[in-house]
Structure 1
Amino acid sequence: MTRTMPDRTRTWFITGTSSGFGRELAEQLLARGDRVAATARRTAALDDLAAEHGDRLWRATLDVTDTAAVRTVVDRAFAELGHIDVVVSNAGYGLFGAAEELSDEQIDRQIATNLTGSIQLARAVIPRLRAQGGGRIVQIASVGGQVAFPAMSLYHATKWGIEGFWESAAVDIAPFGIGVTLVEPGVARTAFAGPSADMGTPLPAYADAAPGRLRRSLAGELPPLPAPGDPAKIAAAIIASADLDKAPKRLTLGSDAYQAATAALRDRLGALEAQRELARSTDADDFTAAR
């Protein structure tokens, strides 16, 4: 891919900037001279950046589960800032536990934040990007949109869901000059499994199974999960992807992400190949004869 360094200051719109990848992106972009429209549920977490960078940081309070607020904030950002080059859909969190350990409210909130919130943000920004002649959308997904691990079923449902959404929607909007990149990090050294995470209510049946072991690991009772991902390097790779003349469809970031995705895709392809003749055998006779 050819890198085309920006010939002007770019404007980025980023959700979930109070911590993690969103915060790291905002810091690096402001440091290089770009403008950032940063949204978060608690914008006070950005006070230090506002003091340092002044009006190059535009802030708005936003909970992406509030669809009306998403539309209002997006409309205001475009109205006040004009052209927005890159939209980063980053807001999200982890939910841990076996499916039956989770409450209805936890399930609804996980889907509303990680999946529906991302979809509604896309629906709000696409008309604006189309009207201005194009732009870039970066969806922070996860290697968990390609593979699945125990005790994270609802989290994976949202990440596999957003991958499916963009597989289709990216094709729809490509003719308008809007590129889409799915970012699939592995385990990174953020607070993903920390204060922002949510846990199901432990059931004795899972105490010695994967959900129980994961819970003890997060509580420090067992060795922690390996976290090779460096948030600063991941943010830098995301920023660099926006300097490419064509949006990469996916960015798999982290050695663990690469290894896990490679193993899962090879396993899936092998299973598919083994069913080739079975698949063909279920075609209608007239289709089989014409083939």
Structure 2
Amino acid sequence: MTTRTWFITGINSGFGRELAEQLLDRGDRVAGTVRRAGSVDDLRQKHGDQLWVGDLDVTDLGRVRAVVDAAFAAHGRIDVVVSNAGYGLFGAAEEVTDEQVEHQIATNLLGSIQTARAALPHLRAQGGGRLIQISSVAGLAAHPGASLYHAAKWGVEGFMEALAQEVAPLGIGVTLVEPGGARTRFAGGSVRIAEPLAAYAGTPAAFVQTFRANPPALLGDPARMMARVIESADREPAPLRLVLGSDSYQAVTAALRARLAQIEPQATNAASTDA
């Protein structure tokens, strides 16, 4: 088993917490970020110098680089950088406020972009490494009532897929993780629901209004999911996408097939615009 040093945003709960615990228990070093001071004191007490903690809200884009730089300075080398911090904003596009839109994009998209950009000079200087982006089934398959969440996740999918091609010659691998529903605090604590408009009552988008009170049955085991993420760091070349959960696999493959079915009949029409 290879011992590594990992940088992970958002280790106080959910996937980030699970990933950090597994890595620390197996002897790896973790540089993790939290928004709430003291939220991982138990891990510090248990693992001591194995765990380095930086205070970071990824919407503070200027501070992202400072914290990433500090983590690399403290450890000399970081093998894997995991962009995990994020949350779900649900509601019809018309129901969410401008402030909610801006915060969702700043957290789930711009925070991830800046984390990767801040890490790249260090990864290049050390001759390689791995970038892992915790995305979602929502990055490849869309559902009414989650348009802004999809906007951020689809944006990060495009960014990371292009970035993977840019940095492959530099020895840097990129992986997008596509988990389906998982039994984390996401449904109960990390989801924000827009105030409903009567116009959307009874429409497909209205399902989100009962999401927190009656969350759907979730298949995914966070511990197993993060174990697969850890295993992916040993794979060469880095898998561009890591689909986790049978629900994710089914939704993603159905969405891709539907997209092809819409596009493939257009070959003649598409060619008709060539000069």
TM-score, scaled to structure 1: 0.92
SS of 2:144 mapped into structure 1: coil
Q: Does 1:237 align with 2:228?
A: yes
Matched, 1:261 2:252: yes
State whether structure 2 residue 218 is matched by structure 1 residue 227.
Answer: yes
The CA distance in 1 between the partners of 2:49 and 2:190, in whole Å, is 29
Q: Report the alpha carbon displacement of residue 281 of structure 1 after superposing the two structures with TM.
A: 1.4
Residue in structure 2 matched with residue 193 of structure 1 by the alignment: 187
* Alignment partners' CA distance in 2, 1:213 and 1:186: 18
**Alignment root-mean-square deviation, CA:** 1.0
Kindly state the Cα deviation for residue 191 of structure 1 after the two structures are TM-superposed: 1.4
Matched, 1:103 2:97: yes
Percentage of pairs with the same residue: 64
Matched residue, 2:266 = 275
Structure 2 unaligned segments of length 5 or more: list them.
none
- Which residue number corresponds to residue 71 of structure 1? 65
1:146 correspondence with 2:140: yes
Residue in 1 that maps onto 2:46: 52
Whichever residue aligns with residue 30 of structure 1, its letter is L
Shift of 1:93: 0.2
The yes-or-no answer on 1:158 pairing with 2:158 is: no
Q: 2:10 — aligned with what?
A: 16
Q: Which sections of structure 1, spanning at least 5 residues, go unmatched? A: 285-291
* Structure 2 letter corresponding to 1:281: S
Q: Deviations over 1:137-159 (max 9, x none)?
A: 00001111110011000000000
**SS of alignment partner, residue 95 of structure 1:** strand
State which of 137, 140, 145 in structure 1 corresponds to 2:131: 137
Once the two structures are TM-superposed, the CA of residue 193 in structure 1 deviates from its matched residue by: 2.0
Contact 1:207 1:213 (C-alpha < 8 Å) held by counterparts: no
Letter in 1 for 2:138: G
Secondary structure of 2:40's aligned partner? helix
Answering whether residue 212 of structure 2 is matched by residue 218 of structure 1, we say yes
Which deviates further from its counterpart, 164-173 or 28-37? 164-173
The CA distance in 2 between the partners of 1:202 and 1:70, in whole Å, is 34
In 2, the alpha carbon distance for the partners of 1:193 and 1:17 equals: 17
SS state of the match for residue 130, structure 2?
strand
The 1-side partners of 2:89 and 2:211 are apart by: 15
Give the total of aligned pairs.
275
Q: Secondary structure at the match of 2:187?
A: coil
Flag the structure with larger Rg: 1
Match of 1:35 among 26, 29, 32: 29
Q: 8 Å contact 1:43–1:59 — kept in the other structure?
A: no
Say yes or no: does 1:121 pair with 2:112.
no
Q: CA deviation at 1:45?
A: 1.6
Mean CA deviation greater in 16-25 or 224-233: 224-233
Q: Secondary structure at the match of 2:242?
A: strand
Residue in 1 that maps onto 2:203? 209
